[in-house]
């Protein structure tokens, strides 16, 4: 057999850092290596791995000797005969800069689009039952069950909300015994009304306005969207059996996007118009609560402070103007509920009097 | 080795930004297409490029780490560290929400201690992993210490910083650097770390002064702009200026800290030197900022190149290393990558 010409280069043996001039030639499926101060070595090609290329020099490692590196210079024949560099890597290396930049930008644009629209795409996929479970959990976190359960008042609220709804399954109203002035929607078909709000509004029409706004949030699935926005990952974990309470907390502390708020106002105006209640009391309540929020010292030591109406519903001049502009001059508006119903609602959180409970 | 002792030997970086950009953008694309999984392989590929274009004396470095071991490190940390921490955090939040301070306080404290300890250990383990995967003349580095005790050291020094109201931060930084590097070795030679705080406290106090003056200036600027225009514009301007101030302070602190740290480091007959001036650091930070802002963020993928280039260009050494005494490291090489460091977002390269 005629031996092919030797290829030269250098060798590190992985034992010391000494650099040795070396030459190598192929012999029967092995690489025969001769280096200064070393006995000739024959390495099976299967042990070799291509680790790098620098100009005309190729470097090989052997799998049984950590740190062993043989660099061979300027031999296309040898390069062809020895193990090749990783095919996938070689392919990646051939991608040019313009292609790489363009691909990176396109990929980033796709991801940005997905991220921006994720909530709108995913919301319809969430089963109503799952959303409702989060909502119930949120309500349960706040309310001491059974504290505001005057039957007549509950029925009056249910009737009002049913009229405000454009359709769909009934929205449940939960009156919660808390001095905070607020009302909120949670995922699913639930609205929470805090006792403080019922005490603070001057008329049933102001309450109707607030409820119309919350009904619109429910119909627009805004709370669910907010939860999804706040924590897609947490939501996934919840559905595989995680801690529902944390998501429920998120649901309570949501603030909606400007778009969602303004959509809720538009819908609220439409539903108030349909049932013949003026939007003006809501506008007045908002101005009142706006001034009130600014002047009143914050309750100390209570996390419920964060649930104030003004903190979850930004009070802007725009909102007030829009509501006032929707008042139709000359139209005679109706009451949101009868005086008897309104009294019953106001009495909901009072200590239950036995005779009223049985009446 | 052939070089005589006492000579100035050096590091050189021979990379090209365009070549690195090809790797970085392809990494970005593949990472997005694989929903993040390729990031580990991409990071190994980028490092192979940076290491192989770094020459020390007469030979290039080689990065021998793989994407697979980085991925394994990540999975291990996800299961053993991040998920328990996540659960602890959920517990903590629900305790806070319920106003249960008797539970919330110890939970919160435990959470902070755990994070602090783990970040410390992660720092150590990242350095150990990187040295163990860095080959020069066929020889690698490493450490036999796994870094868990170092985490405890960081915690204790951290308490000292707390009780001195952050006034001992320079000592903290230098002590940690020395402790970390003293546990490391390359080949048979242990690193010696004798960094001091010389000049660092002077810089630290000056920067506290600068920070104070800067904040007052910012407050005045904010008040003026807020009176004159849209409050949203004012708050954006204010935030931007505050970030710039913070970056300036960080650059000026790092300039002295890193010089002290590296200048105290030696290995076998080699004494390391770092020669970046405060101006170099400011230009470096400003360049990074311009690169990211000017490309609407996408330039962030090129930062590892700039960071490595800055490090290597300013890194030098005096003395020499005896190649015949340079033998293979006997340290145990860690089986998986720097998952812990990745989890806490440390390590810029």
Tens of pLDDT, residues B108-130: 888 889 888 988 998 999 999 99
In terms of Cβ atoms closer than 10 Å to its own Cβ (0-12, 13-18, 19+), residue A317 is exposed
Beta bridge partners of B317: B9, B272
CA separation (Å) from B2 to A193, B189, B242, B323? Answer: 84, 18, 52, 8
Looking at the predicted structure, is the pLDDT value of residue B306 above 90?
A: yes
Mean pLDDT of B82-101: 75
Q: From first to last of its 359 residues, what are the pLDDT tens digits of chain A?
A: 455 678 899 999 999 999 999 999 998 889 999 998 889 999 999 999 999 888 889 999 999 999 999 999 988 888 889 999 888 988 998 888 899 888 888 877 887 787 777 888 888 888 888 888 888 888 887 766 567 878 889 999 999 999 999 888 889 998 888 777 888 888 889 998 888 889 888 899 999 999 999 999 999 888 888 877 766 545 444 443 334 455 555 555 556 777 788 888 899 999 999 999 999 998 888 877 765 444 343 443 333 333 445 555 655 667 788 888 988 888 888 888 999 999 999 888 876 544 444 44
pLDDT score of A89: 87
CA distance A293 to A180: 11
pLDDT score of B230: 66
Beta bridge partners of B104: none
Residue in chain A nearest B88 by alpha carbon: A243
Q: Please give the helix or strand (H or E) that residue A214 lies within, else none.
A: helix A204-219
Residue in chain A nearest B48 by alpha carbon: A52
Q: Which residue has the higher pLDDT, A111 or B261?
A: B261
CA distance B130 to B333: 10
Q: Please give the helix or strand (H or E) that residue A42 lies within, else none.
A: strand A41-44
Is there a contact between A202 and A220 (Cβ–Cβ < 8 Å)? no
Nearest residue, CB atoms, A105 vs list B58, B298, B324: B298
Looking at the predicted structure, is the pLDDT value of residue B343 above 70?
A: no
Is there a contact between B174 and B260 (Cβ–Cβ < 8 Å)? yes
CA distance B24 to B46: 7
User: Backbone phi, then psi, for B91, in 5-degree steps?
Assistant: -60, -45
CA separation (Å) from A107 to A100, A103, A111, A214, B34? Answer: 11, 6, 6, 39, 11
Tokens of residue A283, six digits: 């506008």
Q: Ramachandran region of residue A177, left (φ > 0), alpha (ψ -120 to 50) or beta?
A: beta
Mean pLDDT of B40-69: 93
pLDDT above 90 as % of chain B: 56
User: What is the DSSP-derived secondary structure letter of residue A284?
Assistant: H
Nearest residue, CB atoms, A16 vs list B22, B140, B327: B327
Residues making up chain A, counted from first to last: 359
Mean pLDDT of B55-61: 92
Q: Do A246 and B90 touch (CB under 8 A)?
A: yes
Residues of chain A found within 8 Å of residue B323, distances taken between Cβ atoms? 16-19
pLDDT score of B191: 97
Q: Do A100 and B29 touch (CB under 8 A)?
A: yes
**Would the pTM of this model clear 0.90, i.e. be above it?**
no
Cα Rg of chain A (Å, integer): 37
Question: Could you read off the pLDDT of A115-162 as tens digits, one per residue?
Answer: 777 888 888 888 888 888 888 888 887 766 567 878 889 999 999 999
Tokens of residue B252, six digits: 């000026």
| Contact status of B100 with chain A (Cβ, < 8 Å) | no
CA distance A254 to A187: 11
pLDDT score of B338: 72
Which of A286-290, B145-149, B305-309, B316-320 ranks highest by mean pLDDT?
B305-309
Beta bridge partners of A33: A24, A41
| Contact status of A51 with chain B (Cβ, < 8 Å) | yes
Q: Do B26 and A95 touch (CB under 8 A)?
A: yes
With vertex at residue B206, the alpha carbon angle to CA B205 and CA B212, rounded to the nearest 5 degrees, is: 90
Q: Which residue has the higher pLDDT, A351 or B290?
A: B290
pLDDT score of A270: 93
Nearest residue, CB atoms, B187 vs list A17, A100, A141: A17
Looking at the predicted structure, is the pLDDT value of residue B234 above 80?
A: no
| Contact status of A347 with chain B (Cβ, < 8 Å) | no
Q: Do B26 and A68 touch (CB under 8 A)?
A: no
pLDDT score of A237: 44
In terms of Cβ atoms closer than 10 Å to its own Cβ (0-12, 13-18, 19+), residue A25 is middle
Is there a contact between A231 and A247 (Cβ–Cβ < 8 Å)? yes
The position carrying tokens 């010391």 is A16
Tell me if residue A186 falls in helix, strand or coil: strand
CA distance A103 to B28: 9
Q: What dihedral do alpha carbons A248, A253, A257, A258 form, nearest 10°?
A: 140
Longest dimension (CA), chain A: 116
Tell me if residue A73 falls in helix, strand or coil: strand
In terms of Cβ atoms closer than 10 Å to its own Cβ (0-12, 13-18, 19+), residue B77 is buried
Nearest residue, CB atoms, A13 vs list B60, B62, B138: B138
Distance from CA of B278 to the nearest CA of A (A): 33
Tell me if residue A220 falls in helix, strand or coil: coil
Residues of chain B found within 8 Å of residue A100, distances taken between Cβ atoms? 21-22, 24-26, 29
Mean pLDDT of B250-262: 96
| Contact status of A18 with chain B (Cβ, < 8 Å) | yes
Q: Ramachandran region of residue A168, left (φ > 0), alpha (ψ -120 to 50) or beta?
A: left
Q: Do B32 and A108 touch (CB under 8 A)?
A: yes
Q: Which residues contact A274 (CB under 8 A, 6 or more apart)?
A: none
pLDDT score of A255: 60
Residues of chain A found within 8 Å of residue B135, distances taken between Cβ atoms? 67, 69
- Of A172, A214, A220, the residue nearest A197 (C-alpha): A214
Beta bridge partners of A62: A48
Q: Which residue has the higher pLDDT, A340 or B225?
A: A340
Alpha carbon B281 to chain centroid distance? Answer: 15
Residues of chain B found within 8 Å of residue A113, distances taken between Cβ atoms? none
Alpha carbon B117 to chain centroid distance? Answer: 16
Residues of chain B found within 8 Å of residue A15, distances taken between Cβ atoms? 327-328
The position carrying tokens 């990494």 is B27
Looking at the predicted structure, is the pLDDT value of residue B6 above 80?
A: no
| Contact status of B300 with chain A (Cβ, < 8 Å) | no
In terms of Cβ atoms closer than 10 Å to its own Cβ (0-12, 13-18, 19+), residue A30 is middle
Mean pLDDT computed over every residue of chain B? 88
ipTM (interface predicted TM): 0.85
pLDDT score of A303: 33
List the single best residue of B107, B138, B189 to mutate versus A (max A Cβ within 10 A).
Answer: B138
3-state secondary structure string, chain B?
CCCCCCCEEEEEECCCHHHHHHHHHHHHHHHHHCCCCCHHHHHHHHHHHHHHCEEECCEEEEECCCHHHHHHHHHHHHHHHHHHHHHHHHHHHHHHHHCCHHHHHHHHHHHHHHHHHHHHHHHHHHHHHHHHCEEECCEEEECCCCCHHHHHHHHHHHHHHHHCCCCCHHHHHHHHHHHHHHCCEECCEEEEECCCCCCHHHHHHHHHHHHHHHHHHHHHHHHHHHHHCCHHHHHHHHHHHHHHHHHHHHHHHHHHHHHHHHHCEEECCEEEEECCCHHHHHHHHHHHHHHHHHCCCHHHHHHHHHHHHHHHHHEEEEECCCCCCCECCCCCCCCCCCHHHHHCCCCCC
């Amino acid at each position: 057999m005629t031996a092919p010409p030797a290829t030269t280069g250098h060798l590190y043996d992985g034992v010391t850092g000494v650099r040795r001039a070396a030459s190598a030639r192929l012999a029967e499926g092995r690489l025969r290596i001769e280096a200064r101060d070393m006995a000739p070595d024959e390495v099976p090609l299967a042990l070799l791995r291509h680790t790098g290329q620098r100009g005309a020099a190729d470097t090989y490692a052997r799998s049984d000797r950590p740190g062993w590196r043989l660099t061979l210079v300027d031999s296309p024949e040898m390069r062809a005969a020895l193990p090749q560099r990783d095919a996938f890597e070689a392919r990646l290396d051939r991608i040019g800069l313009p292609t790489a930049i363009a691909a990176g930008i396109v990929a980033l644009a796709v991801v940005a689009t997905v991220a921006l629209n994720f909530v709108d795409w995913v919301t319809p996929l969430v089963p109503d039952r799952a959303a409702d479970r989060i909502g119930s959990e949120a309500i349960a976190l706040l309310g001491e069950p059974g504290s505001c359960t005057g039957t007549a008042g509950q029925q009056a609220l249910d009737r009002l909300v049913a009229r405000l709804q454009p359709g769909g399954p009934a929205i449940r109203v939960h009156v919660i015994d808390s001095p905070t002035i607020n009302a909120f929607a949670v995922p699913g078909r639930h609205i929470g009304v805090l006792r403080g709000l019922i005490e603070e509004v001057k008329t049933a029409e102001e309450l109707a306005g607030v409820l119309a706004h919350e009904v619109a949030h429910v119909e627009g699935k805004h709370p669910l969207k907010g939860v999804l926005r706040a924590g897609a990952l947490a939501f996934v974990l919840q559905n595989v059996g995680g801690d529902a309470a944390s998501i429920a907390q998120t649901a309570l502390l949501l603030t909606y996007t400007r778009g969602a708020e303004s959509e809720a106002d538009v819908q609220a105006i439409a539903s108030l118009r349909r049932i013949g209640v003026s939007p003006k009391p809501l506008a007045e309540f908002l101005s009142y609560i706006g001034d009130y929020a600014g002047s009143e010292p914050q309750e100390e030591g209570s996390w419920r402070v964060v649930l104030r109406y003004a903190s979850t519903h930004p009070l802007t001049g725009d909102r007030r103007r829009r509501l006032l502009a929707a008042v139709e001059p000359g139209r005679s508006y109706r009451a949101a509920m009868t005086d008897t119903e309104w009294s019953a609602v106001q009495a909901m959180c009072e200590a239950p009097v036995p005779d009223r409970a049985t009446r | 080795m052939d070089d005589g002792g006492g000579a100035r030997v050096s590091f050189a970086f021979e990379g090209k930004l365009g070549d690195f950009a090809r790797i970085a953008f392809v990494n970005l694309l593949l990472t997005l297409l694989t929903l993040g999984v390729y990031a580990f392989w991409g990071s190994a590929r980028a490092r192979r490029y940076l290491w192989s274009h770094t020459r020390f004396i007469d030979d290039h470095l080689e990065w021998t780490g793989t994407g697979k071991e980085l991925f394994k490190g990540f999975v291990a940390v996800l299961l053993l560290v991040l998920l328990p921490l996540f659960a602890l955090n959920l517990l903590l939040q629900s305790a806070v929400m319920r106003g249960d301070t008797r539970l919330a306080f110890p939970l919160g404290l435990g959470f902070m201690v755990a994070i602090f300890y783990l970040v410390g250990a992660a720092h150590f383990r990242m350095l150990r992993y990187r040295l163990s995967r860095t080959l020069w003349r066929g020889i690698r580095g490493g450490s036999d210490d796994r870094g868990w005790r170092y985490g405890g050291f960081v915690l204790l020094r951290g308490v000292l910083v707390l009780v001195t109201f952050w006034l001992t931060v320079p000592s903290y930084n230098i002590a940690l650097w020395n402790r970390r590097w003293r546990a490391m070795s390359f080949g048979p030679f242990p690193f010696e770390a004798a960094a001091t705080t010389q000049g660092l406290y002077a810089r630290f106090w000056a920067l506290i002064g600068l920070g104070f003056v800067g904040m007052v200036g910012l407050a005045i600027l904010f008040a003026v702009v807020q009176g004159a225009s849209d409050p949203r514009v004012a708050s954006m301007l204010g935030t931007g200026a505050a970030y710039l101030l913070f970056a300036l302070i960080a650059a000026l602190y790092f300039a002295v800290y890193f010089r002290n740290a590296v200048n105290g480091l030696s290995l076998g007959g080699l004494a390391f030197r770092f020669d970046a001036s405060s101006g170099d650091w400011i230009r470096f930070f400003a360049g990074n900022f311009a690169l990211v802002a000017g490309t609407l963020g996408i330039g962030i993928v090129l930062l590892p190149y700039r960071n490595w280039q800055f490090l290597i260009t300013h890194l030098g050494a005096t003395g020499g290393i005896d190649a015949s005494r340079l033998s293979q490291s006997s340290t145990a090489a860690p089986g998986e990558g720097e998952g812990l460091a990745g989890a806490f977002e440390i390590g810029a390269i």
